[in-house]
Amino acid sequence: MDVGDFDVDGYEEILYVDGNNRLRKFNYIPQDTDTSSSSPVSSTDITSSRFGTMVSDADSDGLPEVVFPNASGLFGIDNRGDTTTISTKVKSFAGSSGRVVAPSDLDRDGFIEYAVARQDQEIVSLDPKDSSETLLGTKSGGNDVDLFSYLPANITEASINGSIFGGGDTAKVSFNVSDGDGYTDIVDGLAKVKFTAPDGTNYTVNAVRTDSGVPADDQKSFEAGFSVPSAGPEGTWEYRAFSRDEKGTGTLRNGEFSVSLNSGDINATLLEPLNNTIVKKDSNFVVNTSIGCVNGDCGMVNATPRYNASSGPPTQVVPNGSGTPLHTQVASEKTCGTLNQGDQCYINWSVNATGQEDTSRLLDVNATSTSPSVTSNDTENRLLNIDLAVVIDLRYDVVDFGALDPGEENKSAQGNSQLLYNMTVFENSIPVDKVEVNASNLQSTSYDYTIPDANLSASPDNDPNNQTGHKTSLEGGFSDLLGVSPIQPGTNFTHFFFMDVPTGIAKGQYTGEIEFRATT
């Protein structure tokens, strides 16, 4: 009579009418959990079943019924044996050959209607929602026409949300269904996914619609979520997504995934900022972290920067776009993707310090796996100070030019060749816009003679004649020493001093002062 997944267990049954005009089902697929070879469905007399009986969701409840005509109209019987009236409008059905009742979404409203061939050769549409009858047309020989002229419910694509899962993880299979005829006649309740373990154990999950309404081109989206047993077993699992249309036919898509119960450990390390870093209010700094996976597989790993609200450890997620005392310039949560054993990733954020000056916060990064069997890991805490402090260190306290020859130009300071003149912007300083230098006149310690500050110069290069370099005269106040901006915390730079020795001065010792300042 017909074939379909009548009891919605993922397997088709053969439906037939026995000698007593009673509907029965036969489970012909060996894997079907229903071990009975044949079982009665209903005691209802369906003598007229030879005129066209099929499996369909007659009442739009997501479960199939056997739909059949008789002298009183069109009726349906579900797996419990309950009978429902579809329509009493049409009581005269076409002859004894050919199927004369067929389901389809004829008016594209997302619900099933039935095309019926009557003995007057008219083909009409019956709508179970309001028992209406619509004339579709007249076909000569309509009593012999096969109204089952639509394609099966094809799964056009299927995918799973990962490749490796641990015990307790949720494997989600998503797939699209379309029969290609432009009519939305796929029954939601007949879309399923079967998950098969390496030991042959099967788990069947009903798929649910993830879209809504009546989509174009007869395509619907489904998803089935399966919680991997905490005990596994480990190894390669298979998933099988399948669908059935009103006739019970359809297609399936297979795929594989792995289950690993050896859950790994996340190892998160905060690379930047360093502890006790100072940042300027309303300036940006970088939070940089490395995340590794050891002792097993870690699954999908995400990371989020955090700060402490007032006291205690960091628990507040740094918000994205706006917020006080900190906010990120990009998404707060970033992902490493799937990390297997031995994998490592690096994630960084640009963070704006919006808090009040002279305040401090603790920072860390929280790394979490989507696998519930993998424990999250936090980096060590780092102290961040929001302030206006620039911290630089001068690694020398004297600049000595030695014995001078009057009239000598670009006399090199004695420490130039030994690279003695160094300055460092500390790691916990805020970035420096520029470093400036200023010098006084050099005064003789014995006579009333001076060497003007205009005779002194400084350069980041040990070559005073390099015209393309940056050479700064120390005359008339502070001047830029390096010619570069900004200077990041942790930067060490060497610089060099030169003198044009004047003539007409007394021999002896000359002293003066050199000042430095950093601006931001």
pLDDT digits (tens, 9 = 90+) for 331-374: 889 999 889 889 999 999 999 998 888 888 999 999 999 887 78
Cβ-defined contacts of 122-131 (< 8 Å, 24+): 123/147, 124/89, 124/90, 126/74, 126/86, 126/87, 126/89, 126/90, 127/87, 128/58, 128/59, 128/60, 128/86, 128/87, 129/60, 131/86, 131/87, 131/88, 131/89
Same domain for 350 and 284: yes
Residue 348: closest CA among 323, 331, 372? 331
Is the per-residue pLDDT at 5 higher than 90? no
Q: What is the CATH number of the domain that holds 239?
A: 2.60.40.3880
Domain assignment of residue 139, yes or no: no
Residue 294: closest CA among 243, 344, 230? 344
Q: What is the CATH number of the domain that holds 503?
A: 2.60.40
Domain assignment of residue 147, yes or no: no
When the pLDDT of each residue in the chain is averaged and rounded to a whole number, the result is 79
Contact status, residue 351 vs residue 287, Cβ threshold 8 Å? yes
CA distances from 244 to 107, 226, 391 (A): 21, 20, 72
Is the per-residue pLDDT at 161 higher than 70? yes
What's residue 421's pLDDT? 93
Same domain for 331 and 443: no
**DSSP H or E run through 267:** strand 265-272
From the number of C-beta atoms within 10 Å of its C-beta (0-12, 13-18, 19+), residue 383 rates as middle
Domain assignment of residue 419, yes or no: yes
Per-residue pLDDT tens digits for 392-438:
888 888 999 998 888 889 999 999 999 999 999 887 677 888 888 99
CA angle 53, 58, 59 (to 5 degrees): 160
Q: What is the CATH number of the domain that holds 297?
A: 2.60.40.10
Is the per-residue pLDDT at 48 higher than 90? no
Boundary (domain end) residue, out of 74, 108, 126: 126
Boundary (domain end) residue, out of 207, 237, 259: 259
What's residue 206's pLDDT? 84
* DSSP classification of residue 468: T
Domain assignment of residue 133, yes or no: no
Same domain for 370 and 404: no
Per-residue pLDDT tens digits for 85-136:
877 776 666 554 444 567 777 766 777 777 777 666 667 777 877 766 777 6
Same domain for 444 and 459: yes
Residues forming a β-bridge with 519: 434
CA distances from 195 to 158, 257, 258 (A): 14, 10, 12
Domain assignment of residue 284, yes or no: yes
Same domain for 170 and 62: no
Same domain for 122 and 6: yes
Contact status, residue 305 vs residue 348, Cβ threshold 8 Å? no
Same domain for 315 and 296: yes
Residue 273: closest CA among 287, 254, 256? 287
Same domain for 379 and 271: yes
Same domain for 41 and 23: yes
Domain assignment of residue 446, yes or no: yes
What's residue 164's pLDDT? 84
Boundary (domain end) residue, out of 370, 387, 404: 387
**Rg (the chain; Cα; Å):** 41
Map tokens 């009593």 to a residue: 143
For residues 28 and 302, the model is more confident at 302
pLDDT tier at 304 (50, 70, 90 boundaries)? very high
Domain assignment of residue 137, yes or no: no
SS3 446: coil
Same domain for 100 and 54: yes
Contact status, residue 482 vs residue 435, Cβ threshold 8 Å? yes
As a whole number of angstroms, the longest Cα–Cα distance in the chain is 137
CA angle 205, 209, 210 (to 5 degrees): 115
**DSSP H or E run through 303:** strand 299-307
- Segment 28-46 shows an average pLDDT of 59
Per-residue pLDDT tens digits for 476-518:
888 888 888 888 888 998 999 999 999 888 888 899 999 988 8
Domain assignment of residue 135, yes or no: no
> Domains in the chain: how many in total?
4
What's residue 367's pLDDT? 96
For residues 289 and 505, the model is more confident at 289
Same domain for 352 and 298: yes
Range of the domain at 337: 266-387
Same domain for 397 and 503: yes
The top-scoring range by mean pLDDT among 49-53, 81-85, 327-331 is 327-331
